[in-house]
Chains A and B, each alone.
Chain A
Amino acid sequence: MSEYNFQILVCGGTGCKASESEEIRSSFVNLLNEYGLEEEVQVVLTDCFGFCEKGPIVKMMPDKTVYVRVKPSDADEIIKEHIVKGNQVERLLYRDPVTGTVVRDRQHMEFYKKQIRIALRNCGFINPEEIDEYIAHDGYMALGTCLTEMKPMEVIEQIKKSGLRGRGGGGFPTGLKWEITAKVPGDQKYVVCNVDEGDPGAFMDRSILEGDPHTVIEAMIINGYCTGASKGLVYIRAEYPLAISRLKIALAQARAYGLLGDDILGSGFNFDIEIRYGAGAFVCGEETALIHSMEGCRGEPTFKPPFPSVSGYLGKPTNVNNVETYANIPVIINKGADWFASIGTEKSKGTKVFALAGKINNVGLIEVPLGTTLREVIYDIGGGIRGGKKFKAVQTGGPSGGMLTAEFLDTPIDYDNLLAAGSMMGSGGMIVMDEDDCMVAIAKFYLGFTVEESCGKCAPCRIGNKRLHEILERITDGKGEIQDLDRLFMLSNVIKDASLCGLGQTSPNPVLSSLKYFRQEYEAHVKASHCPAGQCKALVRYEVIEDKCTGCTLCFRNCPVGAITGEKREVHFIDQSLCIKCGVCFEKCKFGAILVS
C-alpha cells in the first residue's frame, strides 16, 4: 500500500485557487524535494472544503490538523515543525470566533464543516434500490419505535416539540398539521407526499427520492399511524422517471418486508402507498390544486378553508407534506425532538436543503442549519461567484420569492427573516446572480414562467400577470416610460391581494423586490434606454470604432445576418436595421474596434 507517511491536502477549490493554492502546493513540493522528504510526504490538491472565508486551507494527514489562511511562505514552517518535529504551527490554527480560543484539539478539527445532513443523511451513502442498506442505516427503526412503543398522540407531540416546519415553502408547523388531521373525525383519511417540485433550478425533492426513497415511505407510514390514515399517495411529476422507478422498487421491497400492507410489524396497523403522476403543472404544487389533480379533475386550486386536513382528497381529511419535511421525521423520532430543536434558530428549527445554482462556483445540493447566513452559503460552501465577478443578488423561493441583495448577505436564513426581507424560503432553490445579470430581465423571466403556469381560474393572476409581463417586455425593449414603474408597483399589489392561491399571491414578488432594490436599473431602462448589465438586446448597440478598425474583414465574414459591410483594409460599418445583436463581431474582433453601448 501507500509508501507515504504523511499527506498534505491543499485546498484547490475555485475560491482558494484565487488565493494562491497552486503556489502553496509548489512551495511544499519544492521544499520537500530540497529536504529529501518527497518519498515520505505526498502533496495533493483537493476540491473545496466549504470554508473559503478562511482559505486557503491545508489539512495534514493522517493527524487531521487543519491550518487556515495559509500562505506559500508558511510551507517551510509547516514542514519543519509539523512534519519533522510533530508540533502544530499555532499561528495557523483556527481561532474560534466566539470564544477566541485556538482549536488545537485533533478531535475538533472539523470546524470547517458548515453543513449538517439530516434530510440528505443517506443520499450518496446507500444504494437507493436496496432496502437492506436503508435498514442498516437505522432505517425503519423510527417506524418500529412509533408502532410498538408510542401512541399516535405521543408521536405528534414529539413532532410538535421538534419545531419542524413545512419544507415545501409555507413553513406551517408540521406537528400541528398532523394534529389537526388526526383530530378531524373521518372513516377514511389520506396521507399525501407532494413531489410536484416545479421551481426553476430546484432539485431537492428529486434528489432525496432518487437517493433515499425509503425515508419518505417510512415517514408516510408514521404519518398514517398518527393521523389514522390507511392510505398514502405520492404525487410525483412524470418528468422524474428515475425517482419514480426507484420509488416503485422501494415500495415493492417495503411490501415484501411487511412494512407496507396489513398488520405492519404485527401492530394491527394497515397502510399502503400508491403513486399518482403529475403532468408538470406548476400550480399543482399548491395542495388544493394537487388534490384536484389526483381526483382526476383540472389542476386548479380552491379557496381555503376548508383546509385539506379537514376536507381534502375525495372530501376526506388529508395530510399533505413535502418530501423534505418527511425526510426529517425518522431522524426526529430516532434522535429525539430535543436534539432536532437544538439545531437552527428560535423559530426555525433544524436544517434546510438548498439547490445552489446560477453564477456560483460550487453548484450543488447543500443542507445547512437554519440560521446560517447567505454569506456562508454563497462564499464558503458555494465557493463564491464564478469568474471572480461581483455578487449582485440571490433569488430564493423561485418564482414566488424575491431577490436579496448584498445588504442581506449577513442575514441568518430562516422563514421569518426571508419574509421580512421581501423574499421567502420557498422549497429551497437558490439562484445566484452576478453583475452581468439584468434584474429587469430576470423579473421578466420569472413572470414569463408564472404566465405560462397560471391555471387561469382567477382573473388577477390570469390577466394581471400577463399585463405585468407585457409592461416588463416593454421596458426591456426600450419602449417603457417612467409611469410604467408605478403601474408595475400598483398592479403587483393588486395581484398579490386579490389572487386565489399562493401562485398568484406570490408571483409579483420578483417584480416588487427588484423594483425595491434595483429601481435605478429600471430607471436606466426607461429614462436612458440603457441596460446597465448589457443583457437587454434591444437596448444594446454594436458600432465600429473607426480609429481602431483595420479592415481585416473578420467581423464581416462572421456576421450571421450580413449586417456588416466594408472593403478590405477599409473601415467597416454595421447596419443597425439588420443587426440582431448577437455579439459575434465583438467577440471576433482582435483590435477592440467594436463598441458596445
Chain B
Amino acid sequence: MNLGLRENSDAADTHVQIRVGMATCGIASGARETMNFLVEETRHQAIDAVITQTGCMGFCYAEPTVEITLPGKEPVVFGHVDKTKAREIIDRFIIKGELADGIIPVNFKTIDEY
C-alpha cells in the first residue's frame, strides 16, 4: 500500500488537514497560488498540516475554496481564499480556533446521511 496515505491518515488526530479545491475553475481563480502560500506559511509557522488538492466543491461563486479540518473537529469550508484570507485563516482559525467570516456552510447531504 501507499505510504503517503498511511502517514496522512495516522496524522488525522494530530495534524491540520487542508484541502484546496483544484478543479479547472479553482485553478483559474488562483487556487494554485493559495495552495503554495498555505504550504509555505504552515511550514514557516511550524504548523503540523497535511495539504492536499481535491476536485470541485461546487461553490464556483466563491473560488478558491479551501476545506480545513482541525484535529478532532468537523471540516470547515472557506470561500474566496486568496493570500490575505489564507493568512487570516491560519492566524485566526488554525492557530486560535476562532471562526472567520465567509465560511461556507455544508448545504448538502452525503450518501451516508440520506
Contact = CB atoms under 8 A, between A and B. Distances in A.
A352 interface: no
Most chain A CB within a 10 A radius of its CB, from B25, B55, B104, B105: B55
Contacts of B101: 12, 44-46
Given A4-B98, A242-B27, A118 B111 contact: yes
A49 B107 CA distance: 6
B114 to A, nearest CB: 5
A211 B114 CA distance: 22
20 contacts: A1-B96, A9-B103, A11-B105, A47-B79, A47-B104, A49-B105, A115-B109, A116-B110, A117-B110, A124-B65, A126-B55, A130-B2, A133-B5, A210-B23, A210-B56, A211-B23, A211-B55, A240-B24, A335-B111, A363-B61
Interface string B1-15: 110110001000000
A242 B23 contact: yes
Given A207-B23, A365-B60, A113 B1 contact: no
B70 to A, nearest CB: 8
Contacts of B2: 130, 132
Contacts of A243: 24
A110 B109 contact: yes
Interface in B46-66: 52-62, 65
B24 A331 contact: no
Contact of B21 (A44, A124, A240): A124
A113 B55 contact: no
Interface in B66-91: 67, 70, 79
B108 A7 contact: no
A206 B60 CA distance: 14
A583 B114 CA distance: 51
A210 B109 contact: no
B4 to A, nearest CB: 8
Interface of B: 1-2, 4-5, 9, 19, 21, 23-25, 27, 52-62, 65, 67, 70, 79, 96-111, 113-114
Does more than half of chain B's interface fall in helix, strand or loop, or is it mixed? loop
Contacts of B27: 242
Contacts of A51: 107
B55 A48 contact: no
Contact of B57 (A113, A123, A362, A381): A123
A272 B105 CA distance: 40
A2 B108 CA distance: 27
Contacts of A120: 58
A48 B105 contact: yes
Contacts of B111: 116-118, 121, 331, 335
B48 to A, nearest CB: 14
Contacts of B100: 44
Interface in A543-584: none
B65 to A, nearest CB: 8
A112 interface: yes
A133 B19 CA distance: 13
Contacts of A3: 96-97
Nearest to B62: A47
The 3 closest A-B pairs by CB, nearest first: A211-B55, A2-B97, A124-B57
B76 to A, nearest CB: 10
A206 B61 contact: no
Interface in A238-272: 240, 242-243
Nearest to B27: A242
A2 B23 contact: no
B93 to A, nearest CB: 9
Contacts of A47: 59, 62, 79, 102-105
A361 interface: yes
Interface of A: 1-4, 7, 9, 11-12, 42, 44-51, 59, 110, 112-118, 120-130, 132-133, 136, 203, 206-207, 210-212, 240, 242-243, 331, 335, 343, 361-367, 381
Given A50-B108, A211-B23, 10 more contacts: A45-B101, A48-B104, A113-B106, A116-B108, A124-B54, A124-B55, A130-B4, A207-B25, A211-B56, A364-B59
Contact of A207 (B53, B56, B102): B56
Contacts of B52: 127, 130
A570 to B, nearest CB: 47
A361 B59 CA distance: 11
Contacts of B102: 12, 45-47
Given A2-B98, A210-B23, A242-B23, A50 B110 contact: no
Most chain A CB within a 10 A radius of its CB, from B61, B102, B110: B61
A115 B105 CA distance: 13
Most chain A CB within a 10 A radius of its CB, from B67, B111, B113: B111
A87 B60 CA distance: 38
A76 B90 CA distance: 32
Most chain B CB within a 10 A radius of its CB, from A47, A110, A367: A47
Nearest to A241: B24
Contact of A210 (B55, B97, B113): B55
B103 A46 contact: yes
A121 to B, nearest CB: 5
B59 A136 contact: no
B60 A364 contact: yes
B60 A113 contact: no
A133 B2 CA distance: 10
A123 B108 contact: no
A129 B27 CA distance: 15
A185 to B, nearest CB: 37
